Amino acid sequence: MRSKYIVALVITLVGLVVCLTPLVWMVSTSLKPFDDLLKGGLEIVPSRPRPANYSEALSNFDFLRSFWNSSLVAILTVLGTLASSIPAAYAFARLKARGASLVFTGLLATMMLPGQITIIPVFKLFASLGMIDTYAPLVLPAWLGTNAFGIFLLRQFFKTLPEETMEAARLDGAHEGLILWKIAVPLAKPAVVTVAVFAFLGSWNDLWGPLVYLHRQELMTLPVALVDFVGGAATVQGTPWNLVMAAAVVTVLPSIIIFALCQKSFVAGIANTGMK
């Protein structure tokens, strides 16, 4: 038994090192002077830390505006994902309807289609509606129940809830909408938080969507602004990766903070989903 524990601990530590290495390298590079980068080497702790890289990097592009744009798109995406996924998942899990299994299977099949396949017809649809160069193509799909993974995750969790609780509420005169928002959603909080975190990360890190649908510079989100910064900051000596990594560290901080705050519910949602 002790040997199994040691093996599990070693595997966990190895996985932790693998996952943290890119982040440690990014933070280390962000604190190095440009001259130290030209020398090469694998120095983890900078011998001459330069915190000024952060202020210099963020002053080279409109960080605050890009941060606000990304925050607005991410918040609206999360709200839309929850507003559309929760009722759909509850209906698939609890309500009996002819053909529901077939519809759910079709919904899951959409997860197998990469966005590059559907981008042309979707782009033409939004263009015909006059929504190109707006945030509508980035946000509206979330409000229309297109997050098949979120619906699947919530459906699996709703199926684990005790039917006796639902029946008792129905006997007391509660309708399905009231049961959903007053009973099912509070009990499914870990799954709801998990879907919200996935939706936020997907929107916050999205580069493809803004590149396709947005044209004006003032609408650009952080991933696009960061790519522009990488291309525009290059010099004869090379790309100042210390400044690029400083901007990247600030960009990923909201994701790290949100995951840290929601870690307990997130892990519970992943662990409990799919038990039934």
Backbone angles phi, psi at 238, to 5 degrees: 130, 180
36-47 pLDDT, tens digit each: 777 766 777 787
269 pLDDT above the threshold of 70 = no
Would you list the domain boundaries of the chain?
Answer: 62-272
Q: What pLDDT is stored for residue 275 in this prediction?
A: 47
Mean of pLDDT over the chain: 85
Rg (CA), the chain: 23
> Picking from 58-72, 95-109, 160-174, 209-223, which range would have the lowest pLDDT averaged per residue?
160-174
Structure tokens at 190: 């870990």
Distance CA 241, CA 248 (A): 10
Question: How far apart (Å, rounded) are the C-alpha atoms in residues 57 and 237?
Answer: 17
Cα–Cα dist 26/242, whole Å: 9
* Domain 62-272: which CATH number of 2.30.30.90, 1.20.120.330, 3.40.50.800, 1.10.3720.10: 1.10.3720.10
pLDDT digits (tens, 9 = 90+) for 189-224: 888 998 999 999 999 999 999 999 998 888 999 999
pLDDT of residue 85: 94
Label residue 51 by pLDDT band (50, 70, 90). confident
Predicted confidence at residue 52, as pLDDT, reads 86
Give the Å distances, CA to CA, from 1 to 9, 29, 45, 213: 12, 42, 38, 56
Q: What share of the chain is helix, strand, coil (3-state, %, to 5)?
A: 75, 0, 25
pLDDT band at 118 (very low <50, low <70, confident <90, very high): confident
Q: What is the pLDDT of residue 72?
A: 95
Highest mean pLDDT among 203-212, 231-240, 266-275: 203-212
